[in-house]
């Protein structure tokens, strides 16, 4: 039984705005939140695989504060951090059928669902963080966000994810030859599998939350991720070599379930969209500080960090573009991304 909503709905809003944590999630989340259910009824639920202090979680919290302020507490967000509601693939599915309101994920689990997300996830497609931000903030970013709607997801905004680099337990990766035969974890995405296999390694798709154990037990030799994740997930404690390949600069994405969105009044939709967009510059400030901090942590640790000449990696990975860019929309997105590079 749901406790009635704490505050009356806004003028024009549906009387029963929404039911939180439906179906499969209701049980576990109910247990987690205990007596706070009445309050949660006013809050959008949101999932994140990262711990509570991570910039993506903090950004969604900021969005929640903005919403609360704008609506006098009528709308807000409760973030379930640390992957407590499940892997990104599983929680995305739950979000798309309306069991969760918001989800902050990597683009990887959306790659197999929506072809328009592929261009942002191609190796070496962005030249720099600035290039990625310029594209994410443009009509190209808007087009990719809009492409999620047929999948029951409303794309709200992109967040930073920095550059992904390879790390492993065996030795430094200086050239693609150093990757031969390494078992490397990748997120659940055919594109990632292809990218790693084309370099001569063996891609092993496993959920993020299982990587630490897999590394510690020697089930895999390594993985790839940005500085902040390498530190916060403690993978650097078990993988002693971090090689700066910067093969991906893909942004993260925040999505809302279309079911929750459809229950909002037009005014509330505008508020939600605006609060999400307003959390982006906040996130970028936190992100830049977090990258610097994580980098210092690694450099002060026993991990051996090495620079990499990226050209041979980019050349070997290039055929993956042709394999995964197959529709006119994807080709047009790639073209526009590239046109926004350099000093454009």
Binding site for ligand GTR (CB under 6 A): 49, 88, 105-106, 108, 161, 187, 208, 225-226, 229, 252
Chain position carrying tokens 């279309």: 258
CB of 252 to ligand GTR, least distance (A): 5
* Smaller CB separation from ligand GTR, 17 or 222: 222
* Smaller CB separation from ligand GTR, 108 or 214: 108
CB of 223 to ligand GTR, least distance (A): 7
d(CA 315, CA 318) in angstroms, rounded, equals 5
- Coil vs helix vs strand at 98: coil
Would you say 64 and 79 are in contact if contact means Cβ atoms under 8 Å apart? yes
d(CA 121, CA 106) in angstroms, rounded, equals 10
Length of the chain equals: 344
- Coil vs helix vs strand at 39: helix
- Please tell me what DSSP assigns to residue 249: -
- Indicate the residue whose CB is closest to ligand GTR: 106
H helices of 75-202, where? Answer: 88-96, 108-111, 129-136, 139-146, 190-197
* Smaller CB separation from ligand GTR, 75 or 193: 193
* Smaller CB separation from ligand GTR, 179 or 211: 211
CB of 95 to ligand GTR, least distance (A): 14
CB of 58 to ligand GTR, least distance (A): 13
Chain position carrying tokens 């709905």: 9
CB of 48 to ligand GTR, least distance (A): 8
* Smaller CB separation from ligand GTR, 271 or 291: 291
CB of 112 to ligand GTR, least distance (A): 14
* Smaller CB separation from ligand GTR, 105 or 271: 105
d(CA 78, CA 283) in angstroms, rounded, equals 17
| 203: nearest Cα among 187, 226, 225, 227 | 187
Would you say 55 and 159 are in contact if contact means Cβ atoms under 8 Å apart? yes
């Amino acid at each position: 039984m749901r406790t009635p909503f704490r505050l009356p709905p806004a003028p024009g809003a549906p009387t029963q705005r929404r039911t939180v944590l439906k179906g499969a999630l209701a049980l576990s989340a109910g247990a987690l939140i205990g007596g706070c259910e009445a309050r949660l009824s006013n809050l959008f639920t949101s999932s994140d695989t990262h711990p509570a202090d991570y910039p993506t979680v903090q950004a969604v919290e900021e969005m929640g504060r903005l919403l609360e302020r704008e609506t006098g507490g009528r709308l807000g967000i409760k973030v379930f951090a640390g992957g407590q509601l499940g892997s990104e693939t599983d929680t995305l599915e739950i979000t798309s059928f309306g069991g969760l309101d918001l989800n902050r994920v990597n683009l990887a689990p959306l790659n197999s669902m929506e072809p328009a997300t592929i261009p942002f996830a191609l190796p070496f497609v962005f030249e720099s963080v600035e290039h990625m931000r310029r594209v994410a903030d443009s009509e190209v970013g808007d087009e990719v966000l809009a492409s999620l709607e047929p999948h029951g997801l409303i794309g709200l905004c992109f967040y930073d994810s920095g550059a992904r680099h390879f790390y492993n337990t065996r030795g430094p990766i200086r050239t693609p030859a150093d990757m031969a035969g390494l078992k490397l974890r990748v997120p659940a995405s055919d594109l990632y599998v292809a990218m790693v296999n084309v370099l001569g390694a063996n891609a092993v798709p496993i959920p993020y939350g299982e990587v630490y154990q897999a590394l510690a037990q020697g089930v895999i030799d390594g993985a790839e991720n940005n500085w902040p994740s390498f530190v916060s997930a403690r993978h650097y404690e078990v993988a002693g070599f971090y090689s700066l390949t910067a093969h991906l600069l893909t942004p993260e994405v925040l999505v809302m379930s279309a079911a929750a969105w459809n229950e909002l009044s037009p005014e509330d939709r505008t508020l939600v969209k605006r609060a999400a967009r307003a959390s982006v510059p906040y996130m970028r400030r936190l992100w830049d500080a977090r990258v610097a901090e994580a980098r210092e942590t690694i450099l002060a640790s026993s991990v051996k960090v090495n620079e990499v000449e990226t050209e041979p990696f980019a050349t070997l990975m290039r055929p993956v573009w042709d394999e995964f860019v197959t529709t006119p929309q994807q080709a047009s997105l790639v073209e526009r991304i590239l046109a926004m590079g350099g000093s454009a």
